[in-house]
Amino acid sequence: MTTQAETTLLAELTAIVSDLHSSGMEDGEAMFMLGAGADRLCTMRKSQNWAGFKASLGAPDIIALLQQIDVEGNASVQAEQGRQAYALRALALSLATINARQDVTKAGAALLDTVIEAALDNYRTKAKPAQGTVPN
């Protein structure tokens, strides 16, 4: 990743982490969407957690996932499903930072990953069992 690309990514990452910490984590529907999206991805790779999922990805996997998330995110925006689009954006930013080189970008990604991991855990322990499915 070029320095310019990482600087742009850092700006987006900073914005979403700031929003999550100021009010986004209080939005139950957005956190449900984030947890459900992370669960869907982790289940595809039989990963127990978000960190394990990310560690299982190679560069081609990341590119394919980012392309798929872009398609789904655009569809969510078109369907006026803002919280779904927000959750997809958070997942995409986490994936996009896998190969970050700047310490500040890595730190921001770690904060975002902490939120994703918490949303995933909440989804698996509260929402998924309530839907009649067994947690991973």
pLDDT digits (tens, 9 = 90+) for 54-83: 999 999 999 999 999 999 999 999 999 999
Domain that holds residue 106: 3-20+28-130
Alpha-carbon gap, residue 83 to 56, rounded angstroms: 27
Whole-prediction pTM: 0.90
Asked if residue 74 belongs to a domain, the reply is yes
What type of residue is 51? A
Both tokens assigned to 93 = 């930013």
Asked if pLDDT for residue 24 goes beyond 90, the answer is no
Taking only the tens place, the pLDDT of each residue in 2-18 is: 888 889 999 999 999 99
Alpha-carbon gap, residue 121 to 14, rounded angstroms: 23
What pLDDT is stored for residue 64 in this prediction?
96
Number of domains in the chain: 1
What type of residue is 13? L
Asked if residue 80 belongs to a domain, the reply is yes
Mean of the per-residue pLDDT values for the chain? 92
Asked if pLDDT for residue 135 goes beyond 80, the answer is no
Asked if residue 136 belongs to a domain, the reply is no
